[in-house]
Chain A
Amino acid sequence: MVRVIVTAVLLLLLWLGVRRAKLVPSRGQSIIELGVDFIRVQIAEQVMGKERAKPYLAMLTTIFFTVLAMNLAGVVPFLNIAGTSRVGLPLVLALWVLVVYLAAGVRKHGVGKYLKAQLFPPGIPWPAYLLITPIEALQVFILRPATLTIRLLANMMAGHLMLVLCFSATNFLLLEGGGLIKLTSVLAFGGGIFITLFEVFVALLQAYIFTLLASIYLNFALEEEH
């Protein structure tokens, strides 16, 4: 439910921002352009290079804004839980990245060559492949999407737990605590404010990391033999 609301809000905001997109941007359009440009220049083009990044810009932008919006839902009153602190959304996004980078690699190099490049990295004595190949296979097919998923999920869940902890402690200490104990609720409340601000930062950071890693994985798949 939270995710549906967030989706609606995100799309509404973006739509409002670019509905009457003009050459001379309004404030909203400027902010959206700033975000889109940040992803293009700072993430995609820096990691992958201008030409290679171009077909994947829309996907990376989608991922960034989705993760960011869902993360920020964790500190919005009445929503109070990040869309990404349930495993579903991070998993879907990570699988999307997995499918796209496998497809990109296969399309560029062909199935055999791509798998060979990924699983049997050249320049290693052949007995080492006994060790390397399973590790690489695990890496390419499971670990990358799994780490993407779990990193985001764990971050947002931990943030959520911290917020719950701080605010429920405030509540409990203030209402149930006797005498001077009530004062400690101020501490807990201050912690809650701090964690809230921290969560905003983490939301941005995790969105950035998720997008950055996605582009890095794409770059791995598209790279020439290394």
Chain B
Amino acid sequence: MIHAHEAAPNPLLPAGYDIVWSLVVTVIIAFFFFKYLMPKLNAILDERAAKIEGGLALAEKAQAEAASAKADVERELAEARKEAAGIREEAVSDGGQIVIDARTKAQAEAARIAENAQRQIDAERQAAVVSLRSEVGGLASELASRIVGESLTDDARQSRVIDRFLDELDAGVPSGAAPSRDQEA
């Protein structure tokens, strides 16, 4: 390679201007890349990476927040449900209590009414017995005095007297009786 033909220019041996211009453009391009392109692109890429990471973190945070909010809601819902169940249970037991109360009250009332009625009946019966006893006694003694006042020999008369007495009783007018009782006294 080194001993190439002297006549033709050796492509491996650079001409002076070739090297110089190559150097110049290389330096220019290198300067551009080192000072402008790479810093700028790197800054952009870094910023983008940071932004993406930030976005991911943000998304994660939002997700966590949503999850916690959901848990809160569920917990509140469960609490409310429990509370509702408690209220319902209380209402049921209250209702039972009320029914029982009402029933006992009604029974007591009924018993009281029945007792009153019984008492009244007893009292009336007592009064009736008392009045009957006095009246029957009076009647019996009047009848006896009448029978005795008339001649007791005559059977027919006797029976007539009894019939008349009974008629008087039936008529309910003790007009004849009173003078006879006075008579006896």
- State whether the Cβ of B164 lies closer than 8 Å to any Cβ in chain A: no
Residues of A within 8 A of B29 (CB): 7, 10-11, 62, 65-66
Alpha-carbon separation in the docked complex, A104 to B47 (Å): 30
The digit string for B12-38, where 1 denotes a CB below 8 A from any CB of A, is: 111100111111011011101110111
Point out the residue from A22, A92, A157 that lies within 8 Å of B22, measured CB to CB: A92
Number of interface residues of B (CB under 8 A): 29
The digit string for A11-46, where 1 denotes a CB below 8 A from any CB of B, is: 100110010011101000000110011000000000
Q: Is the interface of B mostly helix, strand, loop or mixed?
A: helix
- State whether the Cβ of B61 lies closer than 8 Å to any Cβ in chain A: no
Instruction: Specify the chain A residue showing the minimal Cβ separation from B35.
Output: A58
Residues of B within 8 A of A4 (CB): 21, 25
Number of interface residues of A (CB under 8 A): 36
Q: Is the CB of B32 within 8 A of A14?
A: yes
- State whether the Cβ of A202 lies closer than 8 Å to any Cβ in chain B: no
Alpha-carbon separation in the docked complex, A62 to B33 (Å): 6
Alpha-carbon separation in the docked complex, A91 to B22 (Å): 9
Q: Known contacts being A3-B25, A66-B26, is A61 close to B33, with CB within 8 Å?
A: yes
Alpha-carbon separation in the docked complex, A18 to B48 (Å): 15
Residues of A within 8 A of B30 (CB): 59, 62
Instruction: Specify the chain B residue showing the minimal Cβ separation from A84.
Output: B22
- State whether the Cβ of B8 lies closer than 8 Å to any Cβ in chain A: no
The digit string for A54-82, where 1 denotes a CB below 8 A from any CB of B, is: 00011101100110000000000000000
Residues of B within 8 A of A15 (CB): 32, 36
Q: Is the CB of B41 within 8 A of A33?
A: yes
Instruction: Specify the chain A residue showing the minimal Cβ separation from B52.
Output: A23
Return A28 CB to nearest CB of chain B, in Å: 12
Instruction: Specify the chain B residue showing the minimal Cβ separation from A86.
Output: B18
- State whether the Cβ of A96 lies closer than 8 Å to any Cβ in chain B: yes
Return B152 CB to nearest CB of chain A, in Å: 150
- State whether the Cβ of A87 lies closer than 8 Å to any Cβ in chain B: yes
Residues of B within 8 A of A57 (CB): 38
Instruction: Specify the chain A residue showing the minimal Cβ separation from B29.
Output: A66
Residues of B within 8 A of A66 (CB): 25-26, 29
- State whether the Cβ of B176 lies closer than 8 Å to any Cβ in chain A: no
Residues of A within 8 A of B22 (CB): 3, 86, 88-89, 91-92
Q: Is the CB of B34 within 8 A of A87?
A: no
- State whether the Cβ of B51 lies closer than 8 Å to any Cβ in chain A: yes
- State whether the Cβ of B114 lies closer than 8 Å to any Cβ in chain A: no
Instruction: Specify the chain A residue showing the minimal Cβ separation from B15.
Output: A88
Return B34 CB to nearest CB of chain A, in Å: 5
Residues of A within 8 A of B21 (CB): 3-4, 88
Alpha-carbon separation in the docked complex, A4 to B25 (Å): 7
Q: Is the CB of B13 within 8 A of A87?
A: yes
Point out the residue from A22, A36, A61, A89 that lies within 8 Å of B26, measured CB to CB: A89
Instruction: Specify the chain A residue showing the minimal Cβ separation from B38.
Output: A58
Seen from chain A, the residues whose Cβ lies within 8 Å of a Cβ on chain B are: 3-4, 6-7, 10-11, 14-15, 18, 21-23, 25, 32-33, 36-37, 57-59, 61-62, 65-66, 83, 86-89, 91-93, 96, 150, 153, 157
7 contacting pairs across A/B (C-beta < 8 A): A6-B25, A7-B28, A21-B41, A59-B30, A61-B33, A62-B30, A92-B26
